[in-house]
Structure 1
């Protein structure tokens, strides 16, 4: 191999970056760089990603495989001598027909060797450092409940042998080439692209004792290092961002699935330290990863504790019994507002509490001069009776009278309890027309549950229109008008609410959506606010199968509605809008701050790499 010594670091004891100080001096950077997960991986319930600590782990591995993590020692036997010994041993194994002679690997040129590589290190193609064996496609008809275990990628992903499958031990000799040993590396060769790390192609696992003497299943390759290469060191190499970047270039496949060949894996250029330094690197990485584990645990515990505190303080706010108690509870929050509301979850909890306070009459003061809700209910009842008499609406089956059990909280002065059915035109859901009545651009806009997003109509997502004649003749029961309040009645999640906008004069919807059209049109804003708070779900009986909660149309009609005076409703809606806008500003500032923290973490890593 051509050498490139002039560009390599030399010296008796090469000074390296003090990674311990890099971690401790920038703890706030690593622990503050957090972002929301776009999707959760298999077996993970975490909604956030500690991105700073993730970057720190990647940085440690990259330093390790570039010879920048631990100092070199001139007394170490150089990697060039180590590789010559390994080549000699391999040649003997081939001569003894214990292993097969492999195809030649691409030569290494001076241009291939990374700049700054320590003088005691050497470069090699990965194919020269290990033996490779792809997994076997075992047939399900041969599976047993016990015997010789077959190791699937899912077993390695979850690091347990539960739900394992087996074959008869008598076949051990037949499948000897596929046996795993402790210290083997297993790499997935088929999987998704790199946005889904739990199933991504090129994901590697270091076999521990619980998978020792098991058989490797398909879609993976076993990598067994030769003596002279510590398995854990090679494992660090294939988990570095350097190797992952190589995989991105080498992987092939479709939009949904990627694959990597053994040839690509074997061609990967790997930097080899002396054997003694491999041991030092592995030990140092273990030490630093343990420190990262501690940082991660402390950060997660801190976030959990913060969220628990936020929930407790906000809950206390909704349970106050008088104005003095409310003021004291609010003051406890206000004094530490900038510390409490520093995550998206805490801001969402604040928004939900604002809604709870709003519909309990605790957000704005009552005004004794407001016309009480009872007067408005009398007027609505008279109007509804006239609509029935004029046969403009149909008479519905009577609902039970509201008892004291229907009270969700103590009503403020001037409020009254009613049911939504008492103040609305006929409450019903939509239906689904035949497929030939739909098109993508003309007709009447037709809503599905996915068109309700962030408590508003999002018709730009998968818009559908229904034939206007079918809408007028067959779907009259579910015609929607601007100002109607709609709610999904099939979940999860329940509680998706929206007000129909005036983008179109008429709309329609499917059977998973129910709508409320108040007889007094000015009630729609507060009905929306009340439903958005989710308070009604505390007393409604849900129906449905496992994993799916439904609300029947009858239950929707039966929703008990604590109704404030109309003037107070307007004050509540205005205050909620004002506070929700402030919460959105808070979320925007939080997002900007998180972006800054992520950039700062990148900058710290980049600067450290330049100076290493």
Structure 2
């Protein structure tokens, strides 16, 4: 390795610690340099790869003659346009099949050690502890490929997971691998770890990505896999390169461990301060957070926790206090009762229940605020309906909302907009007509509880069955209800009781109607919303600063990498 390359690599260790993806990029760089022959200086005394290929050919013929492997099919000549980069003197481009062989297949006829894709520890490149010992009668149909100590196995199914490992020991009973693996047993004394590292290198990953087939469940077939190119160095250089890669990867591991420890400490300190703030409202806790903003808020998880704490404090009445000039909540309860008496969507039994609950709530007013279930202060709470496929269009008259139109607790109708006709909107989906300033929440998860306020982009909207709408009465602020529904504490009790099917959690409309929300006077709602808005702007700024710092660190890392 030249002094210039060594200096660049050392720069990376300094820079990688700060960048979010720095250590991963550093690992990629190490493998890129290694496979381009830039990680170690070449030794003119090394036997060139061309001589190694002659030895491989001799061994290949011997194994074929002994009946241990099948005679390989001729491989196509490597064309100049296939070669991704130039190699140092003494190296040779070959196809993967030229440097390895398999051991054939067999149907298990006795007890065996089964190595499936799930047995791979892809971070360590080893077989994990969860291998299975199976009897012949229990053998899956995919248990067929023979492997031995020194064999490299590569999962050709979902190759982006990099389920690659070296069989490092003899297994008893005999090991048999899944047909999901490509089997690479190195010829002669080729270094299995060098092969392993190349299969994980950016150059080979790019080849696989360009060759694999399928989208949801991509795979590369054996023919394409073994036709890939392989940079073959002299044997002694292989060993030097592997030793250096191992050394540098160990430094990456240490960096990763130090950064994880740093982040864990940062999260723990922040969590303790937030917990103290939530439990006791200790001003010292808030002072501590403000004094250490720069140190605490370099990770977005802490910012998310701060947002949750702000909403919790707001709903607990600890971001503002009642004022003597505020209107009385008792009067607001009377207004709500009057509004509900005019609510034509209610059956008599429902109105009687709401009337009794509002009357009883008057006895529960404390510090000019009262706890109310959402059904008591909303005109209605309902969910949408999904029209037939031919009733949905990309352009149309009435916008139709789906869960993915709520992004970051805001309405984003620019993302995959759908429309329905006025006729369908009025006659078929009239129950789920929503208007500007309504509050909507997704009730099918994960994740449950995304919330947004309907904008005035259109005079009327509609929505599907995964969304519920809340329309407050009595002058209660939609923005206040929006923040209340966004608070983790509001959904906490019902989330314990959610029911779901096929891996989805669902909130029922009854659970939505039973959500308990603290309702202060309208004036205090205004103060709370204003204060939350201010604090959320600060949180937005923190997120932007983290994004900017991350981008800068990544750009710096990219600039350093570009020097190689």
- Give the shorter-chain TM-score range: 0.7 to 0.9
The answer to whether 1:286 aligns with 2:246 is: yes
Q: d(CA) in 2 for partners of 1:506 and 1:155?
A: 54
Distance, in Å, in 1 between the alignment partners of 2:500 and 2:212 is 42
- Paired position in structure 2 for 1:377: 333
Q: Does 1:605 align with 2:561?
A: yes
Q: CA deviation at 1:211?
A: 6.5
Of 31, 38, 42, the match for 1:61:
31
> Are residues 334 and 128 of structure 1, via their aligned partners in 2, closer, same or farther at CA, if it must alter by over 3 Å?
same
Match of 2:497 in 1: 542
Quote how far apart the aligned CAs of 1:530 are. 0.9
Distance 1:274 1:566, change over 3 A: same
Unpaired runs of at least 5, structure 1: 1-13, 35-50
Residue 305 (structure 2) aligns with: 349
CA offsets, 1:83-106, max 9 Å, x none? Answer: 433333434445556544434445
- SS of the equivalent of 2:165 reads strand
| Contact 1:238–1:244 (8 Å) recurs in 2 | yes
Question: What is aligned with 1:557?
Answer: 513
The residue aligned with 1:184 is: 151
Q: Tell me how far apart the structure 2 counterparts of residues 220 and 89 of structure 1 sit (CA, whole Å).
A: 24
Task: Give CA-to-partner distance per residue, 1:259-281, whole Å, 9 cap, x none.
Answer: 24436634614231233x33232
Q: Is the 8 A contact 1:180 1:211 kept in 2?
A: no
CA distance in 1: counterparts of 2:451 and 2:540, whole angstroms: 18
Conserved? CA contact 2:335–2:474, under 8 Å: no
The question of whether the paired residues in 2 share the 8 Å contact of 1:543 and 1:549 is answered with: yes
Q: Which residue of 1 aligns with 2:435?
A: 481
Corresponding residue for residue 318 of structure 1: 278
Within the alignment, does 1:507 sit opposite 2:477 as a pair? no
Structure 2 unaligned segments of length 5 or more: list them: none
Tell me what 1:579 maps to.
Answer: 535
2:116 is the counterpart of 1:152:
yes
Partners of 2:448 and 2:358 lie apart in 1 by 24
Please, what is the CA RMSD of the aligned residues?
A: 3.8
Give, in whole Å, the separation in 1 of the partners of 2:92 and 2:4. 21
Question: What is the TM-score with the length of structure 2 in the denominator?
Answer: 0.84
Partner residue of 1:262 out of 223, 232, 238: 223
Secondary structure, in 3 states, of the residue corresponding to 1:181? coil
**Deviation of 1:52 (Å):** 1.0
Contact residue 97 and residue 226 of structure 2 kept, 8 A: yes
Rounded Cα–Cα distance in structure 2 between residues aligned with 1:472 and 1:425: 19
SS class of match (1:245): helix
- Cα distance in 2, alignment partners of residues 279 and 214 from structure 1: 27
Q: Is the 8 A contact 1:135 1:216 kept in 2?
A: no
Aligned equivalent of 1:45: none
Find the partner of 1:205 among 165, 176, 179: 165
Counterpart CA distance in 2 for 1:374 and 1:499 is 27
Distance verdict in 2 for CA 1:176–1:94, change over 3 Å: farther
- Map 1:215-364 to 2 at 5 A: 215-249=176-210, 251-256=211-216, 257-262=218-223, 265-266=226-227, 268-275=229-236, 277-321=237-281, 325-326=282-283, 328-364=284-320
> Displacement, 1:421?
2.2
Partner of 2:417: 463
Instruction: Give 1:419's aligned residue.
Output: 373
The secondary structure found in structure 1 opposite 2:399 is strand
